[in-house]
Structure 1
């Protein structure tokens, strides 16, 4: 079937090439006709111009002769008429020769066209005959009918409408995707604006905290006047000139300034990452709270619906000694399940982030620009783009992991409910 389709495609391409050749030949023919017409018109205009000039010259000569001789003079025009006649005969001969050449060219073009059409028809007929013979040899009657229908459908152009409909559906889907991406981009821009405002507020707060810390340190390090006098009484000023003390202020070199600038940029990037992680963790905690509420409601429903089985409940009870109870009471610092789940989620998120950063470690600028466009964010710098793309993809992996975890917990609960009902039936 594939060979049949490929042969049909080749034949269609041959047809297209033959039609293109015919069109090009017809265009050349039209161009030649136009050129001949232009030449003929130019020759005609030239002859008219020469005739006009001859008349003008003849009249001027006649006037000059009459004025010189004082009588009328007739200038013969036979030579001019003979020249004009000879020129007309030459033009007629040329037109006849050109007409013969045009007719010969037209006939040659028609013959070429007929030969190409015959070749195409013969090639198509031979190909169809071979295909039908192969189909009759290799396949049975039902398959032959099916293949004949397929050949008829392929010969016709009924599939163009379907292709157009498929193209329209693809265009509509692309338009919807573009709308969704534009909405996502607007939300991201709003979030970026919020982040900028939060950063500015955070910088002001940090400055205030640093000022308060410095004031507190200065106040704590200050001593009273009595204590200062007791520890270090005032001394008389030294006589003579004072020695110049070396300045304690250090001069920074350009290399030191570059290193400080790099450290400042790294600190800003770390702060941005920390802010993004905090936002992601807040969203995740909100999702986890909603999922816990759903799970608690399901557990209560299962407790109300499932019957009690004393055998399983006795087996499930753990007998502890008084010493162990005392140890547990003394400890009092055992971590709750919520903290354990939080630590596990944080570890998972860091693991996903590290994996994504490893994947994007050797990515170049063009790759990161394409990745930023795919994720719907703007490209600023290479390192920042890597961090943002890794964070987005890690969050996607983390949400998938949370969904799988919730699904597994639901499956475990349903399995536990089924086993408990079976045990009750056995009892």
Structure 2
């Protein structure tokens, strides 16, 4: 009965939601006061968020029961954009591989007859990942205090992949949760593999850049200062390159703390403004040749895969498309998914919106129209996602084969030029000494 009641509220929430923030539907259903809090966990981490209880005493008791030391608790509405809007906003992301293992273990437990709250409790007690253990411990405490399981799970959403919590919530009300959770596990593993491939492709260029930086520092601090006096002793002007490197070495040696401070300030500033910077870098990357092609392919693969998983979990097409756009807000084609959902709600067909979008490849448009016409979109979109993921992998391999020799050539050429100029100066000193 609890799962059936949740299913009714879940669908009703989507129908009345119409673009409202993801967690607002529970507030509308519960109708209880919202208490914002600031607290410290047992290991000293600061946490902010919000809870719903009938009075302040129950809210305080629930938070302290979770092992939190509450330093501030106030009643009032919470804006989704604020740090207190979602509990765990500052939580570190759980690795995708650990999330995939978690989804797979949940599927196994549910397949053996356990309920999702029971599986969550057991996984929280036996999890090797400390963050998973803390998150599930908080979920279990909230459930023990009477909070609905989906609502308790949503409080930890920031620690997981955007698709993890929605699909676990859907599986809670589904008749076939094992299939949904196994699909989620497969999706997360595929995402983790793609990230690993990108990271591996960048390792060699990064090593080259670090090695070049250390070589320049070595020349500036050790070699150049030993060469400069040789020119002065012979009454010759020190070459401009060696003089510049000597000056740079002196600055490093005499003001290293200033460089360290500036580096710390730069890193801290970058951390604070990273959301805006990353968005601009992402938009710039989409416009770059080769790189933009790979990113566009991966973006459409993610959108297709997410839509396929949501549709496969039993959500209506309009709801699945709208939710896909909201779970993937940074994807360029996400706005077309929102428009397609609006088109369906207005009595039209979603494929008309995608056909009119010039950013989408023709193969996606044709496959989506076919799936919508034959009512086989979950299978069609899963096939489309697999196709685009394979294409992106091939494109990344091609890009890697281009980037690695290019970076090697540029970095090696720069280092060779510096060494050539320095050695030229050394040889000129030897020529002077033989005169």
State if a TM-score over 0.5 links the two structures: no
Larger Rg: 1
* Structure-1-length-normalised TM-score: 0.30
Higher RCO (CA 8 Å, separation ≥ 6 residues): 1
1 or 2, which has the higher helix percentage? 1
1 or 2, which has the higher strand percentage? 2
